[in-house]
Amino acid sequence: MCIEEAWASDERAAEALRKLGIRARPDAPYLAVLGRDRDILAALRTRDEVIFGISPPGVDAKLAVAPLDVLGAVLRSGRCEVVEVPRLTAASGRARLTAVNEIAVFPRRSATLMSYSVRVGGVHLFSDVADGVLVATPLGSTAYARSAGGPVMLLGTRAVEIVPVNSTSRRPPAVAPLEAEVEIADIYSASPVEVIADGAARVAAEDFERGYRRVGRPNGRCRPD
């Protein structure tokens, strides 16, 4: 068994650990999360333990190590690998959002364009008019960013991708170093603009200073299986 001790995110996960014969210990380096991708993503955003997701019956969680009914066999195989996944922080003033898939900047009203500029490390990269723009991690490159035309980046790639969504000038995606600060600046739209983390938490533009959004600087690491 490649995991001997772990802690559980809730009672359902604790019951799964008991059935697998894994000792429950609050200070264990592993945290078991039984649920859908949104539940595993929430743990990756907020917890520092090694997260191993478990897909419950009838659920195909892409971020899970394995479905519950075969997880025991997977763990007993001894072939467990910890993969580091960066977190992204959108920050300006007192507002903070954390994401492990992507930070998205979009007008609140759908079918509304916005103009914006992108700076990487303080250097202007491009200006564009689009439905919105994404800054995605390698993990997130297979999610929303891929459907918007971004490249798939292998886990472990130390980069983020900047993906315009429905660019009016057909602006291609760009790739920036993971450590670089990415700024989405000079934003204008007929609708209020929001910054959205992993399609869940969002902050209105009024909560950000000087009319631009900062995204991209990693504030830590989380380690899914």
Pick the CATH number of 5-76 from 3.50.50.60, 3.40.50.300, 3.40.50.10330, 3.30.1330.10: 3.40.50.10330
Q: Whole-model pTM?
A: 0.85
Q: Tokens standing for 15?
A: 């019951």
Strand (E) or helix (H) holding 106: strand 102-107
Angle of CA points 36, 42, 45, to nearest 5°: 140
| Helix, strand, or coil (residue 16) | helix
- Which pLDDT score, from 0 to 100, does residue 206 have? 54
- Which pLDDT score, from 0 to 100, does residue 184 have? 92
**DSSP letter at 83?**
-
- Which pLDDT score, from 0 to 100, does residue 79 have? 77
CB 31 within 8 A of CB 47: yes
Cα 87 to Cα 136: distance, rounded to the nearest angstrom = 10
DSSP 113-127: -EEEEEEETTEEEEE
Does domain 86-224 bear CATH number 3.30.360.10?
A: no
Per-residue pLDDT of the chain (225 residues; tens, 9 = 90+): 789 999 999 999 999 999 999 999 999 999 999 999 999 999 999 999 999 999 999 999 999 999 999 999 988 887 788 888 999 998 765 788 999 999 999 999 999 999 999 999 999 999 999 999 999 999 999 999 999 999 999 999 999 999 999 999 999 999 999 999 999 988 999 898 999 999 998 887 654 333 333 444 443 333 333
Domain boundaries, the chain: 5-76, 86-224
| Helix, strand, or coil (residue 41) | helix
